[in-house]
Amino acid sequence: MYESDRPHEACGIVAAYGVPSVANLIQAGLFSLQHRGQEGAGIVVSDGRSIRSHKGLGLVNDVFLPGRLAELPGHLGIGHVRYSTTGSDRIQNVQPLVAECVDGIWAIAHNGNLVNAQALRRMYQEAGAIFQTGTDSEVLIHLLADPMYRNRPRRVARALMELNGAFAFVLMTSTSIMAARDPYGFKPLSIGKLGEGWMIASETCALNQLGAEYLRDVQPGELVVINEHGLQSSRFMDLDKKRMAQCVFEHVYFARPDSLVFGQNVHNVRMKLGMRLAEEHPVEADVVISVPDSGNSAALGFSQRSGIHLDYGFMRNHYVGRTFIMPKADARARSVDMKLAVIADVVRGKRVVVVDDSIIRGTTSQRRVSALRAAGAREIHLRISCPPTTHPCFFGIDFATREELVAADRSIEQIRQVTGADSVGYLSIEGLLSPFPDAANYCTACFSGDYRVDISAVQGKDDLEQVAPMLKFDP
């Protein structure tokens, strides 16, 4: 069975305040972030009094059919597109999550993974709490409802301080929206201004397409509250530059090229990675091609630095979608072969450099090489714009075991044999970090094994879905 080589990401989140027809705005924002999650989508809105929500499995345009948004009136709201890195693909796990507490209704949406979610969940279950989902995100609802936090100042900040791992949250009450990032800064989250209103989004591409002015990022350890009084900022944890862990895979693969992520334009970063890749792994060849779409910018950089002609070697079928983000292996397998077609006239009889962003499992790269051989390519040289992925990620990328990673226990020559290429060249860690003036602030754990967060309490994707053994008690 073939699976995509792509890493699996988590989610995209959007929030807005003080705008008319907020549901339409959030839907458009989610559509801009569809690349971050195709499994489910949801929107929660408020008119200042009543909260309404709608969510479902599938793409944004499948969930929000014509007429549905008219049923969601309001001027503030939050939205979410999901890929499940914890919890299965059932409707209960689609976000935003909505819960009624003693003092009102809360809604939350989350991008990332909480490494201490299982311990928090068990603590509340032993105290009698009932969980409705299999996601790690739900523990924040229980923290907010806990009298220990509910009856004290800085309630949300105190609850956030209990969480460990990667998170970008947007939260909502009937009258306000909130946004927060973990103190390590794993996940991006940006603030924009739209007329007299406000927007929050995982990537600036969502702000740009809606005409919002990008102001700044939510800072690591910061809690932002937006309500009728405007925007207020406070810290729930002090920023420690030595503990920063911004996810470098956002630049390598996840984010859209037109987004500004961690202060850097994604397209420009990928161009620089491709240039550095050409310096580190030169090769005599006739043509450079990319694996679209995330390999395009790096291939352009490789071509410019090497002087080798760039051309279209693969044609992408945009109606298949991102196979990496399909939650089931069989669905990914069915889609892999339909996703890209070789343009034979471009590669026939030529020495071809194929620039891709990553190799995770190796099976899809193998199929790409085979397709190029069948189309008549004389030589095939894989060039990868990141280092070998040798360690699991526990912070929102769905490869949590070394067994899944083709580079975990193989040499470069063995990877070359697995893929069937004539040569394989990976970018070094130093080369990967070279575009960033703040390189020490980036997480490279999946390449280096250097985890800046304690991972001893991590759980597998479906661990929170496990069914408890049958209860035995005396009536």
Tell me if 64 sits within 8 A of 94, measured CB to CB.
no
Cα–Cα dist 214/227, whole Å? 19
Q: In the structure encoding, which two tokens stand for residue 31, read together? A: 């559509």
Write out the two tokens for 475: 């009536």
The amino acid sitting at 158 is R
CA atoms within 13 A on the CB side of 277: 35
Residues 444, 389 contacting (CB under 8 angstroms) = no
DSSP-assigned letter for residue 361: S
Residue type, 15: A
**Residue 45 contacts residue 8 (beta carbons within 8 Å):** no
* Beta-sheet strands, E only, within 136-250: 168-172, 177-181, 190-194, 197-201, 213-217, 222-227, 230-235, 246-247
Per the document, the length of the chain is: 475
Question: What six digits make up the tokens of 252?
Answer: 């390598």
Do 65 and 79 form a contact (C-beta atoms < 8 A)? no
3-state helix, strand, coil in the chain (%, to 5): 30, 25, 45
Q: How far is the CA of 98 from the CAs of 86, 111, 175, 181, 337, in angstroms? A: 18, 16, 15, 20, 39
Q: How many whole angstroms separate alpha carbon 164 and alpha carbon 167?
A: 8
Q: Active-site residue 101, yes or no? A: no
> Between the CA of residue 35 and those of 54, 262, 293, 296, what are the distances in Å?
20, 18, 11, 16
CA dihedral of 237, 242, 247, 252, whole degrees rounded to 10: 150
Q: Tokens 């030589």, residue?
A: 379
Catalytic residues: 11
